[in-house]
Each structure stands twice: as structure tokens, then as C-alpha cells.
Chain A
Amino acid sequence: MRPLGIFLLLLCACLTSARAQVWRTNETLWTAAADISIPPQVHWHLALAAFQRGDRTTARKELRFARAQLGTLDQHDPLVTLIWLWTDIIGM
């Protein structure tokens, strides 16, 4: 194997190890119960505010809450696309 191949395999090993660790801790996403008394729009704005002040932990939490309630929004609402793109394409 060439050095590039070995590097790619080691990179994969690091990423997979991190993923397996997340599985061990039960993937917080699964247990993150969204507060349904707060609409997803509010969670979205709280996430944006947290992101702007550099608090990525809170931003991720609020995004998860927003995403968990996407079904309550009109599916043509641009916010659905925004939340979906952020959480699934850009990642949390």
C-alpha cells in the first residue's frame, strides 16, 4: 500500500472509532426529547443566536430540538429546508 492509502485507512479508523464511541453513549440525538411547548421556529432562532455567540453545544441542542419537530411545520415553509440542510447536509 502506498502512503496515501495508509493515511486514508488511518483517517477512516479515527472517524470510525469516534462514531463507535457515540454509539456507546447512546447517541444523544435519540434521547434528546424536544420540548414540544416551544415551536421549532423558536428553537431555530435560539440555535442561530447560540451559533453567533460561539456556543456550538447549545446551537446543536436547539437544532436537534428544531429538527425533531419539523413535522409540525408546513412542509413548504422555507424554514423546513433551512433546518434540513443544516442538520443533514452540513451536519450537527
Chain B
Amino acid sequence: MIALVGLMALTVVVYLPLWDAGFVWEDVPPTAGAWHLMTLTPRALTAASMVWQAAQSVRVLHLTNLGIHLLNGLLMFALLTGVAAGWRFFLTGLWWLHPLQTESVSYLAARADLFLVTAVLLLLLATRFPKGLRELGMLVCLWLAFLAKETGAVAVGLVALWLYWRESRLPWRVLAVGALAALLLSAHFLSHLGSWTATAPPLGRFIGVQIAAIWRVFALLIVPVGLTPAHQWASMPPWLTVVAVLGAVIVLMGAFAVRQRVPSIAFALAWIVIALAPRVLVPVPHPLTEHQFALPMLGLWLMPTIGR
């Protein structure tokens, strides 16, 4: 417990510069109309939390982001029950302190990604509740995920993957309700994209760039040098997108081939594919950013729980 408190304290110290941070780039003061409008969209929970804090200072907004990040680490720690104590503390600490998380925590516009991670972690914990309470808990958490971000619909696929890999059985009724809600949510969101997608590149080019961007962010996870909120993916050379797509196909085929022998790797890759599917398949003008990798990278952190 002392180690956990120590890691939390270290995380707070690391993020102390946020004390004086202001609004940057897409961060708009929550009193602005944009956030109010967003309370009507699938991002309602995130928008409502921003509007609710409108009367507070920017410092409160940043501290709330940090608080959600710390909460996510604690939920992760709870989820890693059964994993060797050393690994459990290390993975929780790494989640709190990894440089790739800086954008999710520091960037107020990324609060939706933090909330989505919270909802998914709660969802996975709810699968351990006693029968009866488990179904209710899962439905509530799925609803939270839908309200956190437009891409919250992926939570249905992620929890199905988690249960399939850990228990080899699925609560069909809960998943059917969740999938139906996710479909409605996705249809609502896609119908409101409208002219926004008009400035996006052609679908083939978009998918290639996104997959190459995923490789790059994955590399940043291992060697976090070159972090920036403004990656210039759009100017990526065409040959690199082809190499990236081929590489992804080879890696996924390899993971499928060894899924019995090394299930944790197959699980993590399947998790990343599901979590990033909307980002790869729905062409929007803004390519992948580092904070959008928060939910996909959760799959890597859950690897030690697979096969136990």
C-alpha cells in the first residue's frame, strides 16, 4: 500500500507543471458555447463535467484531469488482482507515469479519452460482480462509456473480447442490448458528421495513414522520443503507408497463428484493433493523436491477466 501511495505522490509531482497551465489549442474555456452544444451529443458526460466546472479556474479543470488519471490507475490496480505483486505495482506505476499519457492528462480536450478509459475499466471490474448485479453493473458502465465519447461504442466489443478470453463464455443478453445501443449511437454520430468528413482524404489513403500513425504511436510507447500534439501524418509519404498496412497484416496474421501458445499477445492485438477501429475506418479530417491511444494501450497493460 505504501508503494501505491508513493507512486501516486510521484505522479502528482510529475504533473505539477499543470498548476500553471492554461488553455491551449483545442482547449476552449468551458463557458464557450461549443461545450454547451456538446452536452447534446454522445460526449455528454465529458461535456457536462466541463460545463459544470465552468465557474472554476483552469487549474480545477487540469486537476480534475489528473484526478481521473489517478483513479484510472487505481482501477487498473484493482483489475490486476492475481498478477504477481511486483508486476502489479510496476504496471500501475507505468500507467500513471508513462510519457505517452502526458497528452491525455495535460490536454483538457482529451478528457473524453480519460473518461472512456474509466468507463471501460469499471466495465471490466463489473464482470466480476455476483450474478444479477453483474448484468446491471455492465449495462451502467456501457452507458457511461457511450456518454464519455462518440467512440465509446467500442466498449461492447472490448468487454466481449475480455470475457471470451478469460471465461470462454459471453453474457449474450447484456451484449445484445449493448450492441444495439452502440449501433444506434454510432448511426446517430455518423449521421451528424455531415460536411465535416468532406475535407478528409480518400478512404484508402486515410486508412493507410492511420495504420502508419498507429505504428508510430506504438513506437512512442516503447521509445517516447518525439512526442508532439501535432504529428504531421497528412504529409506522410505514400510508400510508408503501404509498408505500414503490410506490416499490420503480417503482425495480425502472426498473432492469430500463435493465439493458443501466446494468448496474451493475441488478446492485446485484438484489443488494439477493436479500440482503434473507429479511428481507422471513419474518415475524419483529424488523424490519430497521442491521447487517442489511451484506450488501445490499456490492452497491453491487461496482458498479464490473460491465461490466469
Residues in A lying within 8 Å of B, measured CB to CB: 1-2, 5, 8-9, 12-13, 15-17, 19-21, 23-24, 26-27, 29-30, 67, 70-71, 75-76, 80-81, 83-84, 87-92
Contacts and interface: CB of A to CB of B under 8 A. Distances in A.
A5 B86 contact: yes
**How many interface residues does chain B have, given as a range?**
35 or more
B226 A90 contact: yes
Given A9-B97, A27-B229, A84-B237, A16 B17 contact: no
Contact of A16 (B86, B97, B216): B97
28 contacts: A1-B86, A9-B7, A9-B10, A13-B13, A16-B14, A16-B102, A17-B15, A17-B17, A20-B17, A20-B106, A23-B24, A24-B21, A27-B24, A27-B230, A29-B230, A30-B229, A30-B230, A70-B232, A75-B235, A75-B237, A76-B238, A80-B235, A84-B232, A84-B236, A88-B226, A88-B231, A89-B216, A92-B226
Interface stretch (B87-95, B155-163, B260-268): B87-95
A19 B98 CA distance: 10
Given A20-B15, A80-B237, A88 B25 contact: no
Given A15-B99, A16-B98, A71 B225 contact: no
A71 B133 CA distance: 54
Nearest to A18: B99
Contacts of B99: 12, 15-16, 19
Interface of B: 3, 7, 10-11, 13-18, 20-22, 24-25, 86, 89-90, 93-94, 97-99, 101-103, 105-107, 216, 224-232, 234-238, 240
A77 to B, nearest CB: 10
The dominant DSSP class at the B interface is: helix
Which among B7, B11, B25, B90 has the highest number of chain A CB atoms within 10 Å?
A: B90
A19 B235 contact: no
Nearest to A24: B17
A31 B8 CA distance: 33
